[in-house]
Amino acid sequence: MSKEIAEVQLQVRFVTKQEQYAVPDSPYAIQSNFQSTELNTLINALLKENNVSSQKSVEFDFLVCGELLCTSLSEHLQEKGASTEETLEIEYIERFPAPSPQDCLMHDDWVSAVQTNKNWILSGSYDNSIHIWSTKGQHKLAIPGHTSPVKAVAWVSFNEDQGVFVSGSHDQSAMLWVWNVKNNSVDCVVTCRSHEKGVECLAVSADTLRFATGSWDTNISLWSTSPSDEENVPAKKRSKPDHGNTRNPLVTLKGHREAVSAVQWLDFNTVISSGWDHLLKLWDCELGGIKQEIATNRALLDVDWSPLSNSIITASADRYIRLYDPRSTDSIVKTTFTSHTGWVQSVRWSKTRDTLFLSAGYDGQVKLWETRSPRTPLYDLSGHEDKVLCCDWSNPSLLVSGSCDNTLRIFKAKNAVGNA
């Protein structure tokens, strides 16, 4: 059967949403054994013929039957059960450039948390410290304060004069910090205590007014990000120890049966959490209750949500990444991504491309994915020599990952742009 298909001529029509690369809408006859390479050559020839691209060749990816073409057209169509007799529509999109290694930033212990903000990177380590780096690899500050491994870091706000960020640790606390950029000095202004076990994860709301922490005690706490405690704590409870005021949570969300592995904000009033109890939960922060619960079949190690696609991805202990649509009335997984050979520890959506995300795993691999290519990642970002515990994505082309090999690695995708 496959031999017969391989010898067929196909009628195809090329379409693109990227107007600058549009070619005539007429059908073309091509061999069904064409792969992306041959299609790239053909599209670039058509662009040149129509004086669209007189510059260097453009690399494209091709969508056939809603999925990226990773094999020959004949194999792809056979797998999809699609007809070879009708005119086939092939959509092409400019390929996201391959990220190349930029820097390797050394820590004294495992790198367990990372988040970027424009030109700056926050990292947290198992040596209890937080670090601030420039995206060019310059080390700005090593910040002591926690008494156990730092498991989560997040920027709250940033301007020319100061950066505000939070950190969460296995010492059961979250700390709110203010970094004076000009003086390159940092102060802990608030210590947040309510959890009875280690803080595993945290996330800042889009309006930057609150942040959520998730813990091994199975609870999620919501906190104010205000550096001033005036509106948060009664006067008699205020204290001024070494690490700023101690603050109580605004709300505590109870419902997970095992450790909370990740929290993210979907909107100003909705938090999503993942847990070792195999559950995804959507919370109403105002009412303090559960809006929706999605049961999965494995312990969940991370979750991320994209405001661009309104989709959720999860990292799991069974090596798979799964994509969910929170608007769906059922809890059926929309797509499963398979390539990692160990636990997937971290997943992060691109901030600028609605179909791209990063994953990092115990197999030492960082992978860059396109949601329309579930079995083949776009790129494997190699370099780590041990388990990768965290990853993040800056706008739109800087990728970072932290590992048990004590390194934070920076990758750069040159000339990457956002959605067309």
pLDDT at 1 over 60: no
Contact of 296 with 302, CB cutoff 8 Å: no
Report the run of H or E that residue 80 belongs to, with start and end: helix 73-80
Q: Which helix (H) or strand (E) covers residue 2, if one does?
A: helix 2-6
Supply the mean pLDDT for the chain. 91
pLDDT score, position 368: 97
Three-state DSSP class for 49?
Answer: helix
Residue 325 tokens read as 């649509």
Identify the H or E element spanning 104. Answer: strand 100-106
Return d(Cα 164, Cα 152) in angstroms, integer. 15
Domains in the chain, ordered, with CATH? 2-94 (3.10.20.90), 100-412 (2.130.10.10)
Paired tokens of 320: 């798979």
pLDDT value of residue 56:
80
Model confidence over 363-378: pLDDT tens digits?
Answer: 999 999 999 999 899 9
- In the chain, what percentage of residues exceed pLDDT 90? 81
Q: Over the stretch 188-236, which tens digit does the pLDDT of each residue have?
A: 999 999 999 999 999 999 999 999 999 999 999 999 999 886 544 444 4
